[in-house]
Structure 1
Amino acid sequence: MKNIFNTFRHMGLIAIICSTLGSLLLFVVGAMKTYTAFAIVFLGKVPEESMAHLDTAELATTYLIKSLDTFLIAFVLFIFAHGVFTLFILDKDEKELKGKIKVLRWINTPNIGHLKNILAEVIVIILFVKFLELVLVNINNLTWEILILPISIVLLSAGLKLLGLGDHE
């Protein structure tokens, strides 16, 4: 029975490979969004007609915020892939060997709860970035309905704090 579970843990390789490939894809997409910001400023390109009312600086800022958001998600996928590898694939003997090799603290994944904390924190940050992007794009047409997103961010953050998911070791 132990051999079956030992073999089954290698199914995590699917999650690792897909997360790593997704991370690489998002790094490319983030770089493309950064390039778009430069193209807006230096080449005068307007990527979407719906954003034509914004000036050059606002458009470039919007795309840079989008790129930062994309890079953040890419890093989370990378950390997730590393965490699944560390928790489910790596043998104890390999973990002892790995203990001799220094891993950056921000990528160290001691347990599955740590991965959940990272994901929860990133969801809050992504929602906040989306709110900033929404305000920037609709700066001339702000309505009270726009407050729904920041209120939900505050409620989500409070819920995570009550659950203790925001606490760090």
Structure 2
Amino acid sequence: MDLVRAFLSLRYVSIIAVISSFVGAVLLFILGALKIVGALGVLFLGKEPISLLIEAHGAESATSGVVILVINAIDSFLFALILLIFSYGIYTLFINSSLVEEDQYPSWIRIGSIAQLKLYLTQVVITILFVQFLEISIVSGEHLDWKAIVLPVSILCLAGAIYLMHAGNNEH
């Protein structure tokens, strides 16, 4: 009995993942906001889009620099949301499971199982990949080559896998 109690008390170690993910989410929200501020500076103050991010994507004009910064900000915000959902999911699953049934929280944040948490995380990852493809499409413009098809095919494969997993779970 003491071994079981000791093993169950180890679940509190997951607070490390909860706190770290939450801090990471806050940092990514700040990073996303800074990218938006940078885009405002480029657009309204005429600042040069000189960050390594813009140079790496080959932005030639201020407009394309703004677009790249905004799309990268969306990526940062989406990943921050992944970390928040992960942090809250781990907290409710391992530390305070009474929060799962509370009606004061929206249904999308009520995590009832690891499988549900993985599904949410996978859906957001697919969305991030779509945003990445959008960025590539905008930056490349008319100069897309055959390699650009890899990302949308990957997105379709991941979405199809989620659909099949969901359909398989509904049969039982």
The answer for the alignment partner of 1:68 in structure 2 is: 74
Partner of 2:120: 118
- For structure 2, which runs of at least 5 residues remain unmatched after alignment? none
Give the stretch that moved more between structures: 67-76 or 55-64. 55-64
Unaligned ranges ≥5, structure 1 = none
Say if 1:53 and 1:80 are closer, same or farther in 2 by CA, change over 3 A.
closer
User: Residue 141 of structure 1 corresponds to which residue in structure 2?
Assistant: 143
CA contact (8 A) 1:46 1:52 kept: no
* TM-score, normalization by structure 1: 0.86
Corresponding residue of 1:158: 160
1:24 aligns with 2:26: yes
By how many angstroms is 1:55 displaced? Answer: 2.8
> How far did 1:38 drift?
0.6
Residue number among 45, 49, 60 corresponding to 1:46 in the alignment? 49
C-alpha distance in 2, partners of 1:144/1:11?
46
Contact 2:59/2:65 (CA < 8 Å) preserved in 1?
no
How far 1:70 sits from its partner (Å)? 0.8
The alpha carbon displacement at 1:64 in A equals 0.9
CA distance 1:119–1:102, change in 2 (3 Å) = same
What number of residue pairs does the alignment pair up? 163
2:5 paired with 1:3: yes
Alpha-carbon separation, structure 1, partners of 2:64 and 2:78: 21
Does residue 81 (structure 1) correspond to residue 87 (structure 2)? The answer is yes
Structure 1 runs (4+) deviating above 4 angstroms are: 50-53, 98-101
Identity, in percent, stands at: 33
**How far apart in 2 are the matches of 1:53 and 1:150?**
22
Contact 1:26–1:71 (CA<8 Å) still a contact in 2?
yes
Report the Cα distance in structure 1 between the residues aligned to 2:20 and 2:6, rounded to whole angstroms: 23
Give the residue type in structure 2 aligned to 1:71: F
Task: Give, in whole Å, the separation in 1 of the partners of 2:88 and 2:77.
Answer: 17
**How far did 1:12 drift?**
0.5
SS at match of 1:109: coil
Contact 1:54 1:137 in 2 (8 A): no
TM-score (norm 2): 0.84
Contact 2:130–2:152 (8 Å) recurs in 1: yes
| CA apart distance, 1:65 | 1.3
Structure-1 separation of matches of 2:106 and 2:67:
31
One-letter amino acid matched to 2:18: I
Kept in 1, the 8 Å contact 2:101–2:110? The answer is no
User: CA-to-partner distance for each residue in 1:106-147, whole Å, 9 max, x for gaps?
Assistant: 211111111100111011111111111111112142212211
